[in-house]
A and B are shown apart, each in its own frame.
Chain A
Amino acid sequence: MNGPHDVGGRAGFGDVMPDADEPAFHADWERRVLGLTLCCGALRHWTLDESRHARESLSPALYYSSSYYQIWLTALEALLIHHGEMTREELDDGVVHQAGLATERCLEARRVPSVLATGAPTARTLESKPRYRTGDRVRTIVDHTKGHTRLPGYARDKPGTIVEIHEAHVFPDKNAHGRHAGNQDTRGQSEQPEWLYTVAFECQDLWGKGGETNTSVTLEAWESYLRAE
């Protein structure tokens, strides 16, 4: 989707402001938002792709006026409401009106080290062979979508070169919109893995005369993002 998150090449955000002595968190509530987001993800109502989609679905005015963890917080509330774990009324008045659903999947503290150490690998086995080879010239698709995609707007309908073929990976455009709800019967059906490639684009092809010379941008593209050039 052409959401507010898709900022590559957009103007007006000002200078980069590096801070060498920056703390990991600027307020205690930021710590809690990180922890709560990971704990709620462990309930398995939604995928990481769906949580990204929730963040990029904020209105542009809200997205740009929110700090990083405020975006996470707003998206987390929306996901909990969407998946029936919370109501707007509960969030507003702070009183529990309905019981939790996925309580059996509550992440216990003793499981945190193993859960973080395991992560959530997205590589999958595919029967089919990759369509492209290293060195192939390709062009990215231009299809507009209102759903989640990891093809940035600046890289649509652009010519590039395959520089590396990876494993097949879960396809976020589908995985962000699947049914999960922790149901063993439906989990995984929306993954629809595809071959993943690293594709290189020359800056002149992306930005014309506005690009710097002797520079390129690479990104990871799933096979259906690409057409043979």
Chain B
Amino acid sequence: MVQEHDPHTHDHHDHGHAHDHDNHLEPTAARVRALETLLVAKGLVDPAAVDAIIDTYENKVGPRNGAKVVARAWVDAEFRHWLERDANAAIASIGFSGRQGEHMQVVFNTPEIHNVVVCTLCSCYPWTVLGLPPTWYKSPAYRSRVVVEPRRVLAEFGLFLDAATKVIVRDSTAELRWLVIPERPAGTETLDEAALAELVTRDAMIGTARVESCLSAATDSPVDREEPSA
């Protein structure tokens, strides 16, 4: 998809929508500003509510939430069973519930089964535990390809799966929201729940990555994984 803006030139917006240089607004930015101005003038939108929504998803809700769920599942067998029985209640018990996470589903990746999540029709994603989806997750490239050739797509992410590993692609067509619990990496037996949560990445909870062990991360050594034959 066409990106109108170079992201590297737009990382300085840290004070909401207060632009003082309308003449320099790009067409889409001007169009959005005009729409907001009309909606506020009509009493349909409270601009402070827009600010509060942005603040929620930019600063408060994100993949650190999901990482806490994963780490708890790794260290607490009872919690893991609760996730299997009633993911919604188990996740809510840590404090994560609400919009785009109303009906949570959890799947566990194992050496035998690898789950990966997509929404081919739009961009359904578990906001409560992962925040807003990354651009690649929303892109037609990912949505179109991962249901046909998941192994090839995952390999492009650097995730090489054994042919004996069953791949299950989860196309999110309803209001159920899927969270992948990745495998706990080897060599993490001595880490506590908080330290484990630090290892968990967003992509691992979508299913496009594994969680790497802290040992390999700390030494920056290549992770022991199966590479495809050249």
Contacts and interface: CB of A to CB of B under 8 A. Distances in A.
A26 to B, nearest CB: 4
A2 B115 CA distance: 27
B140 A64 contact: yes
B157 A34 contact: no
A127 interface: no
Interface in B124-155: 131-132, 134-136, 138-153
Contacts of B43: 99-100, 103, 106
Chain B interface category by residue count: 35 or more
Given A55-B122, A103-B44, A216-B166, A32 B50 contact: yes
B103 interface: yes
Interface string A41-60: 00100000000100110000
A36 interface: yes
B121 A119 contact: no
Contacts of A32: 17, 32-33, 36, 50, 54
Given A17-B136, A43-B44, A67-B4, A169 B156 contact: no
A62 to B, nearest CB: 11
What's the dominant secondary structure at chain A's contact region? mixed
Contacts of B176: 166, 196, 198, 220
A152 B134 contact: no
Contacts, number: 293
Given A100-B42, A207-B148, A117 B97 contact: yes
Nearest to B142: A16
Interface residues of A, number: 100
B227 interface: no
A226 interface: no
A28 B36 contact: no
9 contacts: A23-B10, A27-B5, A43-B44, A67-B1, A68-B1, A94-B34, A106-B46, A109-B52, A119-B102
Given A7-B140, A8-B143, A18-B203, 19 more contacts: A9-B144, A23-B7, A25-B58, A26-B10, A28-B10, A29-B33, A39-B46, A68-B135, A86-B39, A103-B42, A106-B44, A108-B49, A112-B52, A122-B175, A169-B175, A212-B148, A215-B167, A219-B172, A220-B172
Interface of A: 5-11, 13-19, 22-29, 31-36, 38-40, 43, 52, 55-56, 64-68, 70, 73, 76-77, 80, 85-86, 90-91, 94, 96, 99-100, 102-103, 106-109, 111-113, 115-123, 150-152, 154-155, 166-167, 169-170, 172, 196, 198, 200, 203, 206-207, 210-222
Interface of B: 1-5, 7, 10-11, 13, 17, 19, 26, 28-29, 31-39, 41-46, 48-54, 56-58, 97-103, 120-123, 131-132, 134-136, 138-153, 156-157, 163-176, 203, 208
